[in-house]
Structure 1
């Protein structure tokens, strides 16, 4: 079964399989994997959520992962080489965890700032999204791990996402929403994930015109199409519509139903053969399909006790030592090898070790976007004292909520990062707490798995009082006997008085404090989203009087079991100590600010604002943070506001503070990266990948709520800065905006219809990095086309006084529009403009097409 070149012959394998075996390959064997078929040399194919880390098959802090900054932060770097490096790190993490397929990146667009997963998408611009997405895909797949760019297509909001239909024209689809997917297909993506929503009345998992005719036909996509989890809800329509894999399993709309449909002639067997062909091609690419006699993944040596740094030095990780690049036939994956941030790589393949912690810190700093810096307040120099203010300063908000969530084995908060700075006194004041849900109490906890009699089946440590299990139980737990999961921990109050405890989760719970039951209730999630129990579960609180310094034993028991051998558990115990109230906390923050050389306020959104499963209701910072910032800036004119959010927020205090730094969701190394940038060790490298409004009322495209089950994209191609320019409105900050710690001048520009070159000079006193952006604008304006659109960009570095010439190629598609007959080049004169943002374009040259 080997070809002359040594590769496994997929056609021979397909011929060996009967219909039942073929169909079995097309549905998950469980929540995260496709079944193994040892008789043809096929290992399990394991999938895992991204996009900022690789969770693996366990959604638990017991299996930690590197947590990179959010996708909006990645896009804010505008740095394709850096994004590729991030992709290679994710591939390294995937191999460490035995994962073959990373369920990322998200290529949906920032159509509205109210989109709940805005933070998980790259940009409002289809060209920037496509270029960043392609670099991400290339980086991951260079490591022999597949990607599944998602969610194909028009899944740009969360409300009614399972049933909503997006009404959108072919022109808008082609020029805007499909464009990033077309780009990553050209980059060689090995997978695509079909979305939950419908497009023009047809559910995406059944959309033959978009999946079979366009994606696989016109674009020549040779990878596999996997459903979003539970998105496949029919048998014949999904098979004929171009879907290849239905997840999760083993239940679903295919299996015996699809087999019967083929036998009865309702689905041609050629369709099943093509689906199997694509799955086997995927397996061959990621090293899970082996020639006869090559062994299986079980032959790999397990180095699960090896530290990442030791593994990097020794090259001991088996998955690194055996995996070649794309089409890595014969490779082995050994789940569990190493720990989070494992850096061993494949010396024989020419790849070097990647330090995950260092890269996470570098990406964060490069993504930080300096929006305002009046009087050159930043970088900080000669500072002896800092008032660090905000609840997110002490408890970092490093990622958005939902399936993108991972558990890093370390989180550096802003307070940690700044206190590590020698010679600077840092005083922290909470100021106000905007969180709606209570956080777990400090200190380690335990999770117990119990049988119906309350006997302990297994016990495991927890980093915090939270349990998340989706799909699989620990190996030492007998799922047939499981009746309850319980969190236990000891808590010593630092203050006496009335404490609040909370239960967050869906299902039946009993909370006890020192053996006394204080809550016994069944919690039911709101809304119709099937993922709500995981993504946005209900919370119940209870008040308990505690004595300072007297420890209490806490127990939170969740009555549960398994369904078909799989477990779905997500719950947490929260705690809040007695508080003097926001008025007193704000007053304390004001006093701290007045006594310090500089005040740094970390303002953040919360998990209830930005997450999968729901959209935002507004753009204001939650709680009383706007009031806090206003009062702190009144007490100290040297106030820096750090905006810790994945998507735009209103900033009514903007003109009152000299400096505003946007850190997005900065990943696990948040605090160290923040210290690097505030004190000038690293220049903030970010530029906005989306336009930031001054007020929600100004946003030209806002609505995400379906009307009678439909959202109409009536704005057509005019989203983001294109819509702002057409509306004649002024945002707070335009697409592409971002400041550094030096100054630049733009000298000369030369352009043809294919290339454009610009000379830029660093006119400041520090080395710097500039993102040179190129926009294309038709000289003869057409109301059906935007005033201008991004057509190229480049990141340049220069020493003080140095001039750098950058040249980019203008893509042919930049001059084209979609018509009923296909793509058409619009001939005529265009102005190619170069500058620092869509609103700051000092140079221009006219080209003719």
Structure 2
């Protein structure tokens, strides 16, 4: 009987940086630097001409140092031409597939390297920013899941893929960046009001929000971005406890901490707290024109007058240059694509001289990535309902396509860039969210286009009505005869800079579904959403199938059609919980109005729920969701067919605490990542076709605040009628709680329960055991 495995299915992160080598090279380089050069190696050069990067560390020609280019891009290299738009983080999380997580990271790394970008400002593990404390958070779509375990795995695999291409990965936003509202200082009624403060207790910080960062550091991430918000009253980038204490000392982070753009609030305070690089560099908006900087020459003065020790400046430079040298970026690394500056200027609506347009051909770095994007889109699509075997479709002769999310983009390839409102986004498919995490399309296949192409193979009819206002008003005069099957495409827009205000899909979505399903007894709803939605029509008899297709990238139409017609199975599983009603989630976005809004002291986000977010909250409060975390159907059926086998690794006695004599390594405390137990079971495909499922392992831990937590998952493909072994590895950290008194991870005494199944609420195989 085979055992499921893949090259990147291992629980143990694969280090991607030889820190010792990088630090040695950096130290040799530092000896050649003047103090002024050191200060400009840690300070962004926003006015440096011709780079075309969102962040720049300027070259030092006398030492043949060509500079460092930092570029945005969780979904693709933003503000560039001839690049791919990949599935968003929320889609990646929904795949529950380590191999695809790695392959996406690798493909992104190839494109960033090809364009000459040194640093990929990429990964929101949903813990860095945000984890998903608020289901309506405006940037939740950029991260992977509100579960720290799933986010940590996705983050590590992505970093491995990116950095194996020689590109520096970045983990952001550190830490507690859980809403967009008042995320940074604003001026309200003439009064400067500080960013909100995420007030997080020590245990919650470790067990929830810090967890994925530990995975990132274990994987060798080159840099971490400190966020705009405050943490327990102190601005993130000058918070010595979280930056120097937790990140660098406790987790053993060896790379550099870079500010979010203009998040630096001070010089000496931030530097001494652990911030290593200031971006984009200017002291204020006028500095983009004049070159006036907050650090730079001021940091040189602080070093010379003793406010900042030169040893700390050397440490900052060492941290910045270590991954640069360790990843080989000093030898043969591609130069920045000269068209990047033009693309950036065009995207920000700045005048671009016509003589320059087209004078230089943009580097096409897309390669064969469209096929990976198409595969991942299907793998991240979750089949929530499939009554009477509606899907896959069997060559219907008359298909109806409805909804404003089905057709081509109406405002061009950049119509899904940064925006604070829904204006301009009503018509056209939605494959990515907005803000710095978005990307400019070079091509995109809409669902309507892909459906027309597919049905032409059997001369099928495709009728369509894409105006949601007409649909909501029950105007179907152009649709006749009544289609055999009706496909309704809905979407939920979200963007950096603003939080969502509603759980329902946008643009009168409920009325659209109700109108179509009243006429069509076989209505299939496909949602392209940036986060959690309520689905008030989900239990309607006429709504026979529901697909949560998330934000799957530029191959959106093809990936959806592949699932609809059975070319690929919808193997996605929910990386979050879908509620029955809005009030099932009870953590509001902090949004003050009136006199309080101008009081910085009032902007306090109190994390009183502790670790109880998403499914943990539903379990602890005994709330029945509409669709639970980890849920997803397929085109075949599975069942677990054996008892749970638990085997202790090694013969030594397990201690409650990690070995206090072992020093923290460059990738963290090694004891925490050692396997204590192996766990196995079997799963059988009881259907009539080959299919894939995700077997999930949950642990109930003594002294834990949560009824159960995810501690393992494996995606397996099994032939009809066959069984396969599924194995999990439990590490010390997986079975520990954070002991505030001892400031250490501790394995508690008492009875543990391990439960295995196909979702967080379908766990038929369980077993109790003790660790100590």
> 1-side partners of 2:722 and 2:223: how far apart?
43
> 2-side partners of 1:84 and 1:593: how far apart?
47
Out of 63, 68, 79, which is 1:40 matched to?
63
Q: Is the 8 A contact 2:115 2:334 kept in 1?
A: no
Matches within 5 A, 1:719-738: 719-738=613-632
Matches within 5 A, 1:467-478: none
The offset of 1:425, in angstroms, is: 2.7
Partner of 1:393, secondary structure, is coil
Q: Is the 8 A contact 2:82 2:362 kept in 1?
A: no
> 2-side partners of 1:11 and 1:191: how far apart?
18
The offset of 1:585, in angstroms, is: 7.3
Out of 103, 115, 129, which is 2:151 matched to?
129
Give the aligned length.
641
For residues 795-827 of structure 1, the C-alpha deviation after alignment (integer angstroms, 9 at most, x for no partner) is: 100111110001010121121111221111112
Partner of 2:679, secondary structure, is strand
Residue aligning to 2:505: 621
Partner of 1:95, secondary structure, is helix
Residue aligning to 2:45: 29
The offset of 1:40, in angstroms, is: 2.3
Partner of 1:151, secondary structure, is strand
Out of 150, 155, 160, which is 2:177 matched to?
155
Residue aligning to 1:773: 696
The offset of 1:336, in angstroms, is: 7.2
Residue aligning to 2:486: 599
Q: Does 1:791 align with 2:711?
A: yes
Matches within 5 A, 1:342-741: 343=367, 355-394=368-407, 395-421=428-454, 422-423=457-458, 425-433=460-468, 582-583=469-470, 586-589=473-476, 592=479, 595-606=482-493, 610-656=494-540, 657-705=543-591, 708-741=602-635
The offset of 1:630, in angstroms, is: 0.7
Q: 1:6 to 1:663 in 2, by over 3 A?
A: closer
Q: 1:426 to 1:102 in 2, by over 3 A?
A: farther
Q: 1:4 to 1:146 in 2, by over 3 A?
A: closer
The offset of 1:225, in angstroms, is: 0.9
Residue aligning to 2:268: 236
The offset of 1:303, in angstroms, is: 13
> 2-side partners of 1:681 and 1:615: how far apart?
36
The offset of 1:396, in angstroms, is: 1.1
> 2-side partners of 1:590 and 1:746: how far apart?
50
Q: Is the 8 A contact 2:116 2:334 kept in 1?
A: no
> 1-side partners of 2:721 and 2:333: how far apart?
58
> 2-side partners of 1:723 and 1:713: how far apart?
13
The offset of 1:337, in angstroms, is: 6.5
The offset of 1:366, in angstroms, is: 0.5
> 2-side partners of 1:297 and 1:751: how far apart?
50
Q: 1:620 to 1:593 in 2, by over 3 A?
A: farther
The offset of 1:621, in angstroms, is: 2.1
> 2-side partners of 1:302 and 1:403: how far apart?
21
Q: Does 1:268 align with 2:188?
A: no
Out of 117, 126, 135, which is 1:99 matched to?
117
Comparing 170-179 and 586-595, the one that deviates more:
586-595
Where does the alignment leave 5 or more consecutive residues of structure 1 unmatched?
A: 305-334, 344-354, 434-581
For residues 678-727 of structure 1, the C-alpha deviation after alignment (integer angstroms, 9 at most, x for no partner) is: 00000001000111112111113333436711111100011111111111
> 1-side partners of 2:133 and 2:338: how far apart?
46
Partner of 2:205, secondary structure, is helix
For residues 79-114 of structure 1, the C-alpha deviation after alignment (integer angstroms, 9 at most, x for no partner) is: 011110000100110011111110011022111111
Q: Does 1:843 align with 2:737?
A: no
The offset of 1:666, in angstroms, is: 1.5
Q: Is the 8 A contact 1:171 1:819 kept in 2?
A: yes
Q: Is the 8 A contact 1:431 1:587 kept in 2?
A: no
The offset of 1:235, in angstroms, is: 0.5
Q: Is the 8 A contact 2:145 2:151 kept in 1?
A: yes
Matches within 5 A, 1:138-177: 138-162=160-184, 163-177=195-209
Out of 209, 215, 227, which is 1:195 matched to?
227
Q: Does 1:824 align with 2:708?
A: no
Out of 669, 686, 701, which is 1:763 matched to?
686
Q: Is the 8 A contact 1:100 1:286 kept in 2?
A: no
Residue aligning to 1:574: none
The offset of 1:431, in angstroms, is: 4.6
The offset of 1:182, in angstroms, is: 0.9
Q: 1:585 to 1:165 in 2, by over 3 A?
A: closer
Q: Does 1:804 align with 2:724?
A: yes
Partner of 2:174, secondary structure, is coil
For residues 222-241 of structure 1, the C-alpha deviation after alignment (integer angstroms, 9 at most, x for no partner) is: 11111101011210011101
> What TM-score do you get using the length of structure 2 for normalisation?
0.80
Q: Is the 8 A contact 2:156 2:216 kept in 1?
A: yes
> 2-side partners of 1:803 and 1:408: how far apart?
42
Out of 209, 229, 243, which is 2:241 matched to?
209
Partner of 1:415, secondary structure, is helix
Q: Is the 8 A contact 1:735 1:838 kept in 2?
A: yes
Q: 1:230 to 1:428 in 2, by over 3 A?
A: farther
Residue aligning to 2:318: 277
Q: 1:5 to 1:207 in 2, by over 3 A?
A: closer
Q: Is the 8 A contact 1:112 1:704 kept in 2?
A: no
Partner of 1:180, secondary structure, is helix
Q: Is the 8 A contact 2:69 2:118 kept in 1?
A: yes
Q: Is the 8 A contact 1:414 1:675 kept in 2?
A: yes
> 1-side partners of 2:692 and 2:333: how far apart?
47
The offset of 1:169, in angstroms, is: 0.2
> 2-side partners of 1:408 and 1:623: how far apart?
24
Q: Is the 8 A contact 1:751 1:846 kept in 2?
A: no
Residue aligning to 1:10: 26
Q: Is the 8 A contact 2:472 2:508 kept in 1?
A: no
Q: 1:652 to 1:842 in 2, by over 3 A?
A: same
Partner of 2:681, secondary structure, is strand
For residues 317-346 of structure 1, the C-alpha deviation after alignment (integer angstroms, 9 at most, x for no partner) is: xxxxxxxxxxxxxxxxxx9773141x3xxx
Matches within 5 A, 1:285-364: 285-290=326-331, 338-341=363-366, 343=367, 355-364=368-377
Where does the alignment leave 5 or more consecutive residues of structure 2 unmatched?
A: 1-18, 47-53, 185-194, 283-291, 341-359, 408-427, 597-601, 649-676
For residues 120-142 of structure 1, the C-alpha deviation after alignment (integer angstroms, 9 at most, x for no partner) is: 11111111110111001111011
Q: Does 1:180 align with 2:212?
A: yes
Comparing 129-138 and 591-600, the one that deviates more:
591-600
The offset of 1:179, in angstroms, is: 0.5
Instruction: Let me know the Cα RMSD of the aligned residues.
Output: 2.3
For residues 423-464 of structure 1, the C-alpha deviation after alignment (integer angstroms, 9 at most, x for no partner) is: 15353433534xxxxxxxxxxxxxxxxxxxxxxxxxxxxxxx
> What TM-score do you get using the length of structure 1 for normalisation?
0.73
The offset of 1:199, in angstroms, is: 0.6
Q: 1:828 to 1:254 in 2, by over 3 A?
A: same
Q: Is the 8 A contact 2:337 2:363 kept in 1?
A: no
Partner of 2:569, secondary structure, is coil
Partner of 2:262, secondary structure, is coil
Q: 1:261 to 1:29 in 2, by over 3 A?
A: same
For residues 237-256 of structure 1, the C-alpha deviation after alignment (integer angstroms, 9 at most, x for no partner) is: 11101111100035442112
The offset of 1:595, in angstroms, is: 1.2
> 2-side partners of 1:795 and 1:209: how far apart?
38
Comparing 807-816 and 30-39, the one that deviates more:
30-39
Q: Does 1:89 align with 2:117?
A: no
Out of 751, 757, 778, which is 2:646 matched to?
751
For residues 161-183 of structure 1, the C-alpha deviation after alignment (integer angstroms, 9 at most, x for no partner) is: 01111111011001100000011
Larger radius of gyration: 1
